Amino acid sequence: DVKVTQSSRYLVKRTGEKVFLECVQDMDHENMFWYRQDPGLGLRLIYFSYDVKMKEKGDIPEGYSVSREKKERFSLILESASTNQTSMYLCASSGDSPRNAFGSGTRLTVV
């Protein structure tokens, strides 16, 4: 089975801090994704990457950036965390098909 591992289950950060969320997948998938999950809104795509060093904006990229230096690792960066970025963040990966494999999520609280 594909394993997608997110480095933290829970994080608490202060407003203005720079925050790194890390995601690693072990199936050599080309595509990796970062979503945020909010009640009543489902999952919304923040950024995705289809290859090393390649990235594209999703539906809600404002306030976020990403890094993909190696195929297996995809990092989400909050340059200056704000309280409206308090959310559950989910990482996913996929090969040619859109069958995404998801990590368990990181619940981020910005205070």
Partner 1 sequence: GDSVTQMEGPVTLSEEAFLTINCTYTATGYPSLFWYVQYPGEGLQLLLKATKADDKGSNKGFEATYRKETTSFHLEKGSVQVSDSAVYFCALSPMDSSYKLIFGSGTRLLVRP
Burial class (CB in 10 A: 0-12, 13-18, 19+), 63: middle
DSSP 108: E
Asked if residue 103 binds partner 1 (CB under 8 A), the reply is: yes
Asked if residue 15 binds partner 1 (CB under 8 A), the reply is: no
Secondary structure (3-state) at 85: helix
Residues 6+ away with beta carbon under 8 Å from 69: 52, 53
Segment 31-90, which members bind partner 1 (CB under 8 A)?
A: 31, 33, 35, 40-45, 48, 50, 90
Shortest distance, position 100 Cβ to partner 1, whole Å = 6
Binding site for partner 1 (CB under 8 A): 4, 31, 33, 35, 40-45, 48, 50, 90, 92, 94, 96-100, 102-105
